[in-house]
């Protein structure tokens, strides 16, 4: 029997199991366990909100494995063609019964970053916009792809990205989140909670940059760390090794 017929048969067999109100993650796990004849509870979905509902589809949800390495599940509703395809990354158990991580496990496999949903041009990427899946190389070069989504967080999409599409190095670039002379939201945390305030940025800043700020009432200068959402967290920048050595030399000379 062909893979297509097997997948279709699995979808039909799962129809009663994927009940209304079930979460997307749980439904994906059930599909994988049934279609691959795996023990119940041995598959785990990741990079998806466990509370996200599967929803309803009049024609029944159609499940499949979009890639050769079956660590990503795709679900569509044929009765609603305008609804986007949804993808769920999963961990498969190995022969010893422990979950297989979403990293390269064989020479022919590679972990790549995929768009978790449709993203427009100019969108500032967050950790919720990206997932990791393991795919088989099949002789294709993967040098332009990325395996760690954290390297993309805070960058700007250089083109529209479709859900489930690989995200490469050229698909995102650094983005100026804070502009000089602009009023920005700054915050700091303490044991009892979080305090927000408005300060003036004295420098342009990208995600991860340390910039100087000024209190418009007192004129006091402060430093803060630019976050991927455009806010600035107040704090003290850790000195680099070079500055520590320089300070040590100055202190030593003073003592002598």
pLDDT at position 250 is 39
pLDDT at position 10 is 46
Phi-psi region of 35 (alpha: psi -120 to 50; beta: other; left: phi over 0): alpha
CB 18 within 8 A of CB 31: yes
Of the candidates 71, 69, 78, which has an alpha carbon nearest to the alpha carbon of residue 8? 78
3-state secondary structure of 90: strand
Q: What pLDDT digit, counting tens, does each position of 177-228 carry?
A: 899 999 999 999 887 788 999 999 999 998 788 999 999 999 999 999 988 7
Q: What pLDDT digit, counting tens, does each position of 72-97 carry?
A: 888 888 888 777 778 888 887 753 43
pLDDT at position 238 is 55
pLDDT at position 187 is 93
- On the question of pLDDT at 67 being above 90, the answer is no
Range 18-34 average pLDDT: 78
| pTM attached to this predicted model | 0.40
Going along the chain from its start, the domains and CATH numbers come out as 1-95 (no CATH), 103-173 (3.90.1210.10), 176-234 (2.30.30.760)
CB 64 within 8 A of CB 53: no
CB 15 within 8 A of CB 60: yes
pLDDT at position 114 is 85
Q: What pLDDT digit, counting tens, does each position of 122-145 carry?
A: 888 888 888 887 665 555 444 456
∠191-187-194 over CA atoms, to 5°? Answer: 30
Q: Chain-wide mean pLDDT for the chain?
A: 75
Query: CA–CA separation, 60 vs 79, rounded Å?
Result: 8
Q: What pLDDT digit, counting tens, does each position of 139-173 carry?
A: 544 445 677 888 888 888 889 998 888 888 888 88
Query: CA–CA separation, 112 vs 142, rounded Å?
Result: 8
3-state secondary structure of 30: helix
pLDDT at position 234 is 92
pLDDT at position 186 is 95
Distance, first Cα to last Cα, the chain? 85
pLDDT at position 46 is 77
Q: What percent of the chain has pLDDT over 70?
A: 71
Range 58-79 average pLDDT: 82
CB 89 within 8 A of CB 48: yes
pLDDT at position 203 is 94
Q: 116 vs 84, which has greater pLDDT?
A: 116
DSSP-derived letter for residue 156 is E
How would residue 50 be classed by pLDDT, with cut points 50, 70 and 90? confident
């Amino acid at each position: 029997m062909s893979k297509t017929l097997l997948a279709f048969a699995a979808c039909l067999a799962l129809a009663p199991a994927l009940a209304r109100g079930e979460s997307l993650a749980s439904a994906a796990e059930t599909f994988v366990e049934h279609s691959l004849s795996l023990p119940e509870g041995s598959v785990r979905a990741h990079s998806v909100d466990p509370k996200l509902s599967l929803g309803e589809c009049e024609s029944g949800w159609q499940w499949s494995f979009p890639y050769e390495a079956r660590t990503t599940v795709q679900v569509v509703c044929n009765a609603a063609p305008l609804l986007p395809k949804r993808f769920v990354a999963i961990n498969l158990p190995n022969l010893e019964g422990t979950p297989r991580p979403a990293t390269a496990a064989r020479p022919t496999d590679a972990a790549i970053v995929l768009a978790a949903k449709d993203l427009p041009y100019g969108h500032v990427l967050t950790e919720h916009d990206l997932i990791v899946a393991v795919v088989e190389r099949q002789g294709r070069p993967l040098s332009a792809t990325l395996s760690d989504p954290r390297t993309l967080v805070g960058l700007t999409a250089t083109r529209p990205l479709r859900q489930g599409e690989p995200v490469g190095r050229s698909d995102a670039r650094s983005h100026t989140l804070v502009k000089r002379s602009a009023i920005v939201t700054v915050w700091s945390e303490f044991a009892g909670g979080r305090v927000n305030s408005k300060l003036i940025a004295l420098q342009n800043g990208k995600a991860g940059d340390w910039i100087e700020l000024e209190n418009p009432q007192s004129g006091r200068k402060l430093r803060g760390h630019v976050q991927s959402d455009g806010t600035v967290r107040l704090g003290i920048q850790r000195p680099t090794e070079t500055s520590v050595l320089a300070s040590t030399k100055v202190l030593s000379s003073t003592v002598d």
